[in-house]
Amino acid sequence: MSNKNRVNLILHAHLPYVRHLEYPRFLEEDWLFESLNESYIPLLSLLDNLDQEGLKFKITFCFSPTLLTMLSDKDLNERFASYMKLHMELGRKEEQRLKGEKETLRLASMYLRNLEKNWKFYEDNGCSIIPVLKRLHKNGKIELMTTAATHAYLPLYREYPTAINAQVSLGISTFLDVFGFLPAGFWLPECGYYPGLDEVLKKYGVKYCQLPSHAVISSRDKSLYGGYAPVELPSGVNGFVRDWSITSLIWSSTSGYPCDVDYREFYRDIGYDLPLDYIRPYIHEPDVRVFTGFKYHRITGKTDEKELYDPEKAMEKVALHVDNYLYHIERKGIMLSSFGIENPLFNLCYDAELFGHRWYEGISFIELLLRRSAKSDNIALVTPSECLRDPVMKSDKLYINGCSWGRGGYSDTWLDGSNVWIYRHIHQAIERMEELTERFPDQGSLKGRFLNQASREVLLAMSSDWPYIMHDNTSVTYAEKRLRNHLGSFNVVYSSMCKNTVNTEWLIKAERRNAIFPNIDYNIFRPEKKSQ
Amino acid sequence: MILIKIDSLSTQELRNIAQREGVEDYQTLSRDDLILMLREIYEEDDDVVERSDLNRRFLYGITDYREIDKDVVELPGVEELPESYPNTEIHLLYKNPNWAYCYWGISPQDMARLEEMRKTELKLRVTVSKNGTKESFDIPVSLDDTEWTVSLPEHGGICYVSLIVENEGENLELAHSSSLTLVESYWLEHGQEIKDNDNLFKIYLSLLTTKEGNVAESPLLDEILKLAEEGKNE
């Protein structure tokens, strides 16, 4: 490879496992449907088109095991179909309502067209995005990596090797079940790393993970490449260090591109603006106003007098922002070259849902970024595996301290006043799960199922999303309820098994409700297995 | 709770939220009064800082309707979580380079013994072991305490905490935690080299600095940068 700036674009798609078939519609299931309609489908449809066009590009994706499970779920798929039909109906109703308002009508039609296009793409691929991921991977356009089974923030479970092993091994086996091959990369949830975690990853055949940006300057060893080359961790697993400087051009909540006044305002939505009688069928019961996706205003500025969104003007800004993004990469490349670092590697990690869902123009941004990179003499899009195979690529051997990409760079986000109480209960559940595996090893039939479900409940309780939501103060009631339900459910098994009984009613309902990791073996929590 | 910057909402949106919150004259209140009213309603509940951050995850709307999620159906047999567990144990969790969090529990049997003892004092002993030497300090706690945020005195080495009962001059260890490996940074240990590595530091900082010149937040990074600044001034 000639002297180029190597860009490792890594998109992480993750949602907590939310599936409430006991309700006709459930508020938090919208997280999945909105992400599908606004991010995953348009993004993959774009990449599919670019692939068919013959454009050369490379992106790395991580789809979390909880998300992959939901994407493969027949019932949730049917609900997504209903969601899309309902929103297309709203689009047609909006076209009628806005007949006299040319500019707003144009926007309503744009959303309706998007919905129709997305649904067609989805249907054409057998009502799933997984075949598209497989196709793009087969065609060498995307690399796929996995993450922890329920996206647990691993540093806070370091005391429990069985739980760490369970998170890593089930993350890998779920990936294998879906894609048919083993992943080389493991996305550390929230970039949460602790010394020794790499040894666990290595045991499961992982070749690389990603690391937060401050990991290098604060490491125990002197880095020579400052994060612009892979970091070889003590186990030999490689870490790709996130470039905070470049990623913040988008991420920054104060000055990132998505804050531009010409971009669409995320928070102005007809779900809140229109009279209840009109919007009622498209929001949640009982009259709970939610986003519908029909948003007609641009950010405009710090004012409530929002102007109408102008898609053409927004696209002009996208072009400017892509140029600016590439300019910053190239300028850094020149600076690094003057310090003796050739072929620098820029690891640009983002949440996939940022593009399209939270930042409406984000999909167009990616399209133009890929197109311009393909033509650029100075930029080469790469994947982590490709970097590791490249004989020119240098690396730093470093001992990295515990770290994350959360506020402050450590565990404060997942261990603050709002959520600290949860660990006493989750740790206890892990210890009790270990105890159950020792007292009741290799159970078959009903007891085996009972114990398997207990291990699912423990893993679901470990999800980083619950403490994150508590910290972020969004759907706190739901997060707390979910956590208590998983732990309480685990306790049903623990108490029953202590009496050598099985609560069959609970088991049947719990298996139906939390239908994740179908091949789980509760013995994964057996402490003896930690050295295997 | 309003999840975003309230000023960015339209007047109609504000009216809809006010209606939901049971504000009687929501239709006639001015925009400013609506904002004032909603701020009062939500700030009474909690001290939420409004944020209009696009990077916030898991939003389904502008407000968190606090009641609707309370009805998530429970499975048969599920009970409330206990406040404590019947084990005597202590756990130490790493929060950041300067702080750790510990929680503990005392079994009913141990608690009964403690209550029987005269002149009993419970304390948390924080021990840091580094380069073959051990240093400890004690934090007095009460029998009702179950958690503490512990200041980590230094970098490097390992740290653990023990739950100690002092009874008539004698110390008895009830439980001790597993050890945390404390951060150890090359540049904190080799501060004198920083001034000779100006270019390397420029490389490091280029990864961590926004276009506005803001450096990523991290307590350890702050310490290293302070050392670098002091080195320059020497």
Average pLDDT over residues A97-123: 97
Output the pLDDT for position B168: 82
List chain B residues with pLDDT less than 50.
Answer: 1-2, 44-52, 65-66
Q: What's the CATH class of domain A7-72+128-264+309-408?
A: alpha beta
- pLDDT average, residue stretch A163-176: 98
Residue A253, chain B, CB below 8 Å: the answer is: yes
Domain locations in chain B as residue ranges: 6-71, 89-181, 186-233
Distances (CA, A) of B77 to A424, A446, A495: 21, 17, 10
What are the domain boundaries of chain A?
7-72+128-264+309-408, 415-531
Overall average pLDDT of the A307-323 stretch: 98
pLDDT at A474: 76
* Residue with the larger pLDDT of the pair A226 and B43: A226
Out of A135-139, A313-317, A505-509, which region has the weakest mean confidence (pLDDT)?
Answer: A505-509
Averaged over A250-275, what is the pLDDT?
Answer: 92
- Chain B positions in Cβ-Cβ contact with residue A359 (cut-off 8 Å): 54
Residue A477 has pLDDT above 90, yes or no: no
Cβ–Cβ contact A354 with B under 8 A: yes
Among residues A213, A265, A58, which one has the least CA distance to residue A143? A58
- Interface-testing mutation among A280, A305, A361, A424, with chain B (most B C-beta atoms within 10 A): A424
CATH fold of B89-181 reads Immunoglobulin-like (2.60.40)
Express as a percent the part of chain A with pLDDT over 90.
Answer: 87
Per-residue DSSP letters for B43-79? HHH--PPP---TT--S-SSSB--TTGGGGPPPPTT--
- How confident is the model over B110-133, as pLDDT tens digits? 999 888 887 788 999 999 999 999
Model pLDDT, residue B29: 87
A245 contacts chain B (CB < 8 A)? yes
CB contact under 8 A, B183 and A401: yes
**What CATH number matches the domain at A415-531, 3.90.1570.10, 3.90.1720.10, 1.20.1430.10, 3.90.226.10?**
1.20.1430.10
Kindly report, residue by residue over A128-147, the tens digit of the pLDDT.
Answer: 999 999 999 999 999 999 99
- The predicted-structure confidence for B47-90, as pLDDT tens digits, reads as follows 444 444 555 555 555 555 445 555 566 778 888 899 889 999 99
What per-residue confidence (pLDDT) applies to B57? 58
- Per-residue confidence at A302, pLDDT binned at 50, 70, 90? confident
In chain B, the residue whose alpha carbon lies closest to the alpha carbon of A286 is B68
Residues of A in contact with B64 (CB under 8 A): 473-477
Q: In the numeric block, which tokens belong to residue B21?
A: 């919150």
B-contacting residues in A 301-340 (Cβ below 8 Å): 302, 304, 306, 328, 332, 335-336, 339
Q: Among A137-146, A196-205, A404-413, B3-12, where is mean pLDDT lowest?
A: B3-12
Distance from CA of A172 to the nearest CA of B (A): 25
Here the ipTM equals: 0.91
User: CA-CA distance, B62 to A466, in Å (whole number)?
Assistant: 19
Contact A178, A72 (CB under 8 A): yes
Q: Residue type at A368?
A: L
Asked if the model's pLDDT at residue A247 lies above 70, the reply is yes
Q: How confident is the model at residue A218 (pLDDT cuts 50, 70, 90)?
A: very high
**SS3 of chain A: helix, strand, coil, percent, to 5:** 55, 10, 35
pLDDT, position A239: 98
pLDDT at A242: 97
Measured between beta carbons, the chain A residues lying within 8 angstroms of B81 are 425, 484, 487-488, 491
Q: What is the pLDDT of residue B46?
A: 47
- Alpha-carbon distance B140 to nearest alpha carbon in chain A (angstroms): 21
Confidence (pLDDT) at B71: 59
Mean pLDDT in chain A? 94
| CB-based contact A217 B72, cutoff 8 Å | no
Confidence at residue A487, expressed as pLDDT on a 0 to 100 scale: 96
Higher pLDDT: B116 or A56? It is A56
Mean of pLDDT values over A7-16: 97
Mean pLDDT across A371-390? 96
Gap between the Cα atoms of A287 and A304, Å rounded: 24
